[in-house]
Chains A and B, each alone.
Chain A
Amino acid sequence: MAVPVVTIITILGLAAKYGIPAIQSAIEALGKEEITLEDIQGLKITKEPEDF
């Protein structure tokens, strides 16, 4: 399946600003076949606002 150029540019732009992990997590979420309880626990936000 061909990936549109605009999609690639968008992903590169996001990766440049927010880092690869955020983009990787979004793509991985889309591709996940089976969702385990461990996956669900991994959705928790652990970093406090003041720690940024």
Chain B
Amino acid sequence: MKKFKLLSILFLAILIGACSSCATFEKNTYVTLNESKDFYYIAMGIVADLQADGKITPEKRTEINKAAKIYKEAHNIAVDAFAIYKVTKSSADKDKLKIAINVAASKWQSVAALINAIKPGLLPMTIKEVK
């Protein structure tokens, strides 16, 4: 059942990636950030379930929370960069937005790695790149 859930997440990510590949930069960005927001909520829900099942110690939970908080901040910075780009449409702000998304994606890897260390392969390690 767990493997089915993992496959479901990955399938959805691939589906989203494939469907959005022909869209505009704005649409791609929106879909990617929406996906990364959903990943956060799904991941933390899984963490809460694992802790309730006694599979995560309080110390490990603290470690995961720290990484998740860093990811949350990075994601929200990317959202702010998107809002700025939406207004200015400048190439400089577009570049800043791409960088912010890449930073958030790297922070996501830390969160996913911590959770996957407890349940291997549970979460995808990457978030779709925006071009």
Q: Which residues of A contact B (CB under 8 A)?
A: 6-7, 10-11, 13-14, 17-18, 22-23, 25-26, 29-30, 32, 35, 37, 39-41, 43-45, 47-50, 52
Of chain B, the residue at the smallest CB distance from A32 is B30
What would 22 A/B residue contacts be, using CB atoms closer than 8 Å? Answer: A6-B11, A7-B15, A10-B11, A10-B12, A13-B4, A14-B8, A17-B5, A23-B12, A25-B34, A30-B31, A37-B87, A41-B83, A44-B37, A44-B75, A44-B76, A44-B79, A45-B41, A49-B64, A49-B72, A50-B65, A52-B44, A52-B47
Indicate if the CB atoms of B37 and A32 lie closer than 8 Å.
no
Bound state CA distance, A30 and B7, in angstroms? 20
Q: How far is the CA of A30 from the CA of B14 in the complex (A)?
A: 13
Give bound CA distance, A10 to B86, whole Å.
33
The residue in B16, B27, B38, B45 that gathers the most chain A C-beta atoms within 10 A of its C-beta is B38
Do most interface residues of chain A lie in helix, strand or loop, or is the interface mixed? helix
Which of B40-74 touch A at CB < 8 Å? 40-42, 44-45, 47-48, 64-65, 68-69, 72
Of the candidates A13, A14, A40, the one having the most CB atoms from chain B within 10 angstroms of its own CB is A40
Q: Roughly how many angstroms separate A47 CA and B41 CA in the complex, as a whole number?
A: 8
Q: Which residue of B lies closest to A33 (CB)?
A: B27
Cβ-defined contact, B82 with A40, below 8 A = yes
Q: Which chain B residues (1-39) contact chain A, with CB distance < 8 Å? A: 4-5, 7-9, 11-12, 15-16, 19-20, 26-27, 30-31, 33-35, 37-38
- B12/A29 in contact, CB under 8 A: no
